[in-house]
Chains A and B, each alone.
Chain A
């Protein structure tokens, strides 16, 4: 394979290329160390009393005082329950929704219509929660909101509904708006998995006279079950982030605070609005630790089931 010339130049060339590759990688590694790893050390703030005058390194160590406070803070159980409840509700509803959409989209006759629906369905994914909440305010407005107009004219409700400001409705609003925003986007990966299924299976099924629904149940769903399982594990691994910081922040308001206040928004409130840096860090750290346990758990499950880690296929 190699000419003599190649071999004699090989060592020198290898070094140049290794150096180039190292620069390419190290630019990024340096960034990750500075902007992601340094804040890890900043987490020790949870064990210090932040001193605004003397800064981070001048802040005295105080041990677990703030963690003790977490367990006596009356707002914490509420924020924790909201985080967990919204996350689990979304796991139950927002996780299966893209699978159903992908199965239905796949059966759609007419390529044009299919790609049109698909393109439009994942557009909301790219729009920020600021704008989504603005649209929601309009659509749910008691006097001119389209949803209320529709419900009233169909006589489904007697008086306009105001879910954005009803304390009890936030969880439902959170789930529905999340389904609306992310289902199309979530379906992409399943559609990709479906295109990977062997065509001949469907042809054979047609010969055997199996209906469309039969094909979905006996061919398509088993064909994408691996993808479903991996994504389920990923979802469980990042369960608490399902509660969605941006969504809670923008859909939340004084009226639904009791249901919309999650751990992340509480950290923002305590840390930024109240300026209690150390306590906010402690709450954030506790949440991160719970998430880490969930993630490691689902990673172990993934390794057992598939012999790979969640994010990386190869272990070389």
Chain B
């Protein structure tokens, strides 16, 4: 009797726990998804109308004017293309180079391996700072060059470590049999290692790609040409403006508020959407690899 009673109480306890848990996780879902949804949805609404508030799920006055205003600006088009170019070039090069380094460093027979790994780890521990980096970039004549975006971000030792840890889990027999067939290390890397490493390649590609897409410090520090501006820089400039608007409005000094395009705010939202949607577009395809690609590496390394 008592045992049954206890079991029932247990079941009840677990059910309450489940219900609370589902509720909490639903909240997490809403908290993480809704802010993006809300801002993107508002970017399709008339700016002046949106300023009166109370729009939560669907646009009240649907319009594409905000996007027209955004893309009418030549800056934004060029910023979009520059950002896209650095992201694609930077990601392809970055993934290949970091993977190659990870493969080489994984090999025990690599001479000076310990020294190389030590050098790599030091770079994770200690950072020279922006002024010394600026002096270096300046000395190399890279100021106001597109290549600065690519060159400065080619490697990251964290990525190399993730590659190393993943490659370690690939059965040695795969590589050995290829070796017996006379394949050299580069052929093995290209023909055997890369094809079975989709999870880690996708994961690191997303890391590097997002880094390039979001990076603002490189253009901020190393370029001044308007044609080298990137999306984050445009957004930065817009945010500074918006905050001025906000402050002006909340303190009642409407005269200071300065509007660009449709309304300052709605153009901002449209520009933000332009910056977020590409990440949203590739994210579902790449995120499913995180589990395999990152966990193996990070739990161990």
Taking Cβ atoms with an 8 Å cutoff, the residues of A that contact B are 6, 13-14, 16-18, 20-22, 24-25, 27-29, 31-43, 45, 55-56, 101, 104-105, 107-109, 113-114, 116-117, 119-124, 126-128, 130-131, 133-135, 137-139, 141-144, 146, 149, 162, 164-165, 180, 184, 188-189, 192-193, 196, 209, 211-213, 227, 246, 250, 253, 255, 267-268, 271-272, 277, 280-281, 284-285, 288, 292, 295, 311-313, 316
Contacts and interface: CB of A to CB of B under 8 A. Distances in A.
A164 B38 CA distance: 20
Given A25-B110, A101-B28, A209-B6, A126 B299 contact: no
A16 B188 CA distance: 13
Contacts of A142: 246, 249-250
Ranked 7 nearest A-B pairs via Cβ: A42-B132, A39-B128, A144-B53, A128-B214, A192-B295, A39-B132, A28-B101
Contact of A22 (B111, B133, B134, B269): B111
Interface residues of B, number: 110
A162 B133 CA distance: 37
A103 to B, nearest CB: 10
Given A189-B298, A192-B298, A42 B133 contact: yes
Interface of B: 6-7, 10, 13-14, 17-18, 21-22, 24-26, 28-29, 31-33, 35-36, 38-39, 42, 50-54, 56, 97-98, 100-101, 103-105, 107-111, 113-114, 116-117, 119-121, 123-136, 139, 151-152, 154-155, 157, 160-161, 180, 184-186, 189, 206, 210, 213-214, 216, 221, 232, 235-236, 238-239, 242-243, 246-247, 249-250, 265, 268-269, 272, 275-276, 279-280, 283-284, 287, 290-291, 294-295, 298-301
Contacts of B216: 128, 130, 246
A312 B121 contact: yes
A66 to B, nearest CB: 12
Nearest to B52: A144
Contacts of B290: 122, 188
B34 to A, nearest CB: 9
Contact of B100 (A24, A135, A137, A285): A24
Contacts of A25: 101, 104-105, 110, 113, 116
Given A131-B276, A135-B35, A27 B97 contact: yes
Residue from A27, A39, A122, A292 having most chain B Cβ neighbours under 10 A: A39
A42 B126 contact: no
Contacts of B136: 34-35, 38-39, 42
Contacts of A108: 21-22, 25
A45 B135 contact: yes
Contact of A117 (B29, B117, B124): B29
Contact of B120 (A32, A146, A192): A32
A130 B235 contact: yes
Contacts of B242: 134, 137
Nearest to B210: A126
Residue from B157, B206, B295 having most chain A Cβ neighbours under 10 A: B295
B121 A123 contact: no
B39 A33 contact: no
B299 A28 contact: no
28 contacts: A20-B184, A24-B185, A36-B128, A38-B132, A39-B133, A41-B132, A42-B128, A45-B131, A107-B17, A114-B25, A117-B26, A121-B32, A123-B33, A123-B280, A126-B206, A126-B283, A127-B276, A134-B239, A138-B39, A143-B53, A144-B51, A164-B243, A180-B32, A253-B243, A277-B131, A280-B131, A285-B129, A292-B126
A38 B142 CA distance: 15
A105 B239 CA distance: 35
Residue from A109, A114, A119 having most chain B Cβ neighbours under 10 A: A119
B299 to A, nearest CB: 5
A269 to B, nearest CB: 11
B32 A120 contact: yes
B132 to A, nearest CB: 3
Given A36-B123, A250-B239, A24 B104 contact: yes
Given A32-B123, A189-B295, A281 B279 contact: no
A316 B198 CA distance: 28
A20 B125 contact: no
Given A31-B154, A45-B131, A295 B210 contact: no
Given A32-B157, A42-B132, A108-B21, A134 B268 contact: yes
